[in-house]
Amino acid sequence: MIIDDQVYDVIIIGTGAGGGTLARKLAPTGKKILILERGELIYRESSELTGTEVFKKEQYYAPEPWFDKAGEPFYPQTKYGVGGNTKLWYGVLMRMRERDFEAVPHQDGLSPEWALKYADFEPYYTEAEKLYQVHGRSGEDPTEPHHSEAYPCAEVAHEPFLQPLFDTLSKQGLHPAHLPIGLGDQGRTDSEDTGVTPALKSDNVTLKTSANVLWLHTNPSGTEIKAVQAKIGDQTFLFMGHLVVLACGAINSAALLLRSANEKHPKGIANGSDQVGRNLMKQLLSVVVQVTSTANSGMFPRTIGINDFYGGDDNFHYPMGHIQNSGGIFQDVLFSEAPPILSGLSRFFPNFGLRQLATHSIGWWMQTEDLPNSNNRIYYLNDRMRVEYEPNNVEAHDRLVYKWFDVLKSVESAQPSMFNRGATHPRSDMPMSVVAHQCGTCRFGTDPETSVLDLNCRAHEVDNLYVVDSSFFPSNTSVSPALTVMANALRVGEHLIDRLG
């Protein structure tokens, strides 16, 4: 039996960086808002948790399998819950660089131009940084774009044992910078504590958890979404809404549109352009481990970022990417952003136990932009969601990694008391199951033939349907998409407030 629920002014599906931020923005309007979240509340694990059992946890994976190009199942490293994957991150909130909004040549092709520019997002970056209490320092990173206001909070200090490393990098002609980090009284800010929880203080906002949205139903002409069908426990509900906003993540938002195909939208809702689910991007990500002579807690935060090779170098005139310290290995694995790198390190360091490796190492996280490819896509086959993704821009990423190997060797020569000279630097690349930084499956633009959404992130073909997660990106970057998703949700929120009257 399907239960008809009451009618809402706005239905938001998903509570991550986009959905949670939008809920906070719309709550003061007094309009009747429903938030649907597939998962439950997520509680951070105690920072006291230690031991090798940390590395064996699989609670940060989706409960259902996805399928790769060969039809083989895998469990994606993503978590359903209030706050989405912002509950499992380090809170590094970087702005896209001004050049990222332009057409940028890469070795493997062109990163396409955005129809909106950095100046269009800048006020909303500033608003998002205030909302998420970003701690940072301007003036260190030569690639950093213009800020109309200073960071709202002072930068997070480096751990004492990291400060000499930061200084050595500077002396070698690089420009290490303090990473901008969202940080509140209870630790890293996320879209639950910053977005959803404050929104729920308004009587007009309702949150339903464990709500698995199955389909979107349109009116007979296919021009509007009339109902959202969701399963909560053993019951199926129809939620009626005047405006419907998807914020399920780039893969799941596209999947919901494809799954909701009907007579007026035979290829999937809003998919007359055949672009829904295409152009999936998720960056090329690797971790390099540097073993130290001295011990650390294994729990220190990420604070160092390097963008000296963001646009290439003298030997490679194409962008390579962004580097940041990965934080303490225990903490990285605890919050499930890094792969289980320690399990593969024993063959490099047979005299180290896992715990000793965790407390005698510094990880470095490498991020390289991948390019949109229409064949990198998601679709349904025999009621199974398939994710087809072939990495590109691989040489640029390899060059970034090996460039950093050379930098680490120079650092170790300059700091012999901290590092064993000539040490091996194991590299771990992200497998298919790591879908962090996913974007691009419902790109926005001005041409309905080549895009899914207009510049307000409204579907070209469906008047009351919006998407505010990273699906709207026409290109990727080498920085995390999170702050841009938040800024865009605030931008779209202004448009929706005007539309709601």
Hunting for tokens 């320690």 — which residue is that?
342
Whether 185 has a pLDDT exceeding 70, the answer reads yes
Mean pLDDT of the chain: 89
The pLDDT value recorded for residue 46 is 39
In 200-321, where do the E strands start and end? 205-208, 211-218, 225-232, 235-246, 284-291, 304-306
Q: Which residues lie closer than 8 Å to 160 by C-beta, 6 or more apart?
A: none
The CATH number for 212's domain is 3.50.50.60
| Spatial separation of the C-alpha atoms in residues 446 and 235, rounded to whole Å | 40
pLDDT in tens, 117-135: 999 999 999 999 999 999 9
Mean pLDDT confidence for 33-56: 63
Give tens-digit pLDDT for 314-331: 999 999 999 999 876 555
pLDDT at residue number 331: 53
Q: pLDDT-based confidence at 192, cuts 50/70/90?
A: very high
Q: What is residue 327's predicted lDDT score, i.e. its pLDDT?
A: 72
Residue 422 is predicted with a pLDDT of 55
Place 381 in a pLDDT band, splitting at 50, 70 and 90: confident
Q: State the residue for tokens 């260190």.
A: 140
- HEC sequence for 155-197: CCCCCCCCHHHHHHHHHCCCCCEECCEEEECCEECCCHHHHHH
Q: Taking the CB of residue 41, how many other CB atoms lie within 10 A of it? A: 13
Given the structure tokens 């790769």, which residue do they identify?
Answer: 68
CA torsion, ordered 426, 432, 434, 435, to nearest 10 deg: 140
pLDDT at position 50: 38
**Cα angle value 19/222/234 (rounded, 5°):** 55
Mean per-residue pLDDT for 25-39?
97
> CA nearest 131: which of 472, 489, 501, 473?
489
Strand partners, 118: none
Is 158 a residue whose pLDDT tops 70?
Answer: yes
Q: Give 315: exposed, middle or buried? Use CB within 10 Å, 0-12, 13-18, 19+.
A: exposed
Residue with tokens 């490819």: 373
Say what the pLDDT of residue 338 is.
44
**For the chain, what percentages of helix, strand and coil (3-state, to nearest 5) are there?**
25, 25, 50
Provide mean pLDDT across the span 7-36: 97
Alpha carbon distance 431, 343 (integer Å): 15
Dihedral sign for Cα atoms in the order 192, 198, 199, 200: positive
* pLDDT confidence tier of residue 52, bands split at 50, 70 and 90: very low
The reported pLDDT for the residue numbered 361 is 80
8-33 burial by CB neighbour count: b if 16+ within 10 A, else e? bbbbbbbbbbbbbbbbbbbbebebbb
Domain span at residue 34 reads 2-500
Residue 447 CB partners (closer than 8 Å, separation 6+): none
The C-alpha atoms of residue 124 and residue 134 are separated, in whole angstroms, by 13
pLDDT digits (tens, 9 = 90+) for 230-268: 999 999 999 999 999 999 999 999 999 999 999 999 999
> At residue 439, what is the residue type?
C
pLDDT at 333 over 90: no
Q: Region 204-224: what's the mean pLDDT?
A: 97
Domain count, the chain: 1
pLDDT in tens, 428-465: 777 788 888 999 999 999 999 999 999 999 999 999 99
Token pair recorded at residue 342: 């320690």
Q: Nearest 5 degrees, angle CA 200-CA 203-CA 208?
A: 50
How far is the CA of 15 from the CAs of 28, 60, 201, 293, 296, in angstroms? 17, 16, 16, 43, 35
Mean pLDDT value of segment 330-354? 50
CB 214 within 8 A of CB 129: no
Mean pLDDT over 355-384 rounds to: 87
Among 68, 40, 3, 398, residue whose Cα is nearest residue 239: 3
Sequence-separated contacts (24+) of 412-419 with Cβ below 8 Å: 412/290, 414/168, 414/171, 414/172, 415/164, 415/165, 415/168, 417/293, 417/294, 418/161, 418/164, 418/165, 418/292, 418/293, 418/294, 419/290, 419/291, 419/292, 419/293
The pLDDT value given to residue 349: 58
| pLDDT band of 51, cuts 50, 70, 90 | very low
pLDDT above 80: residue 356: no
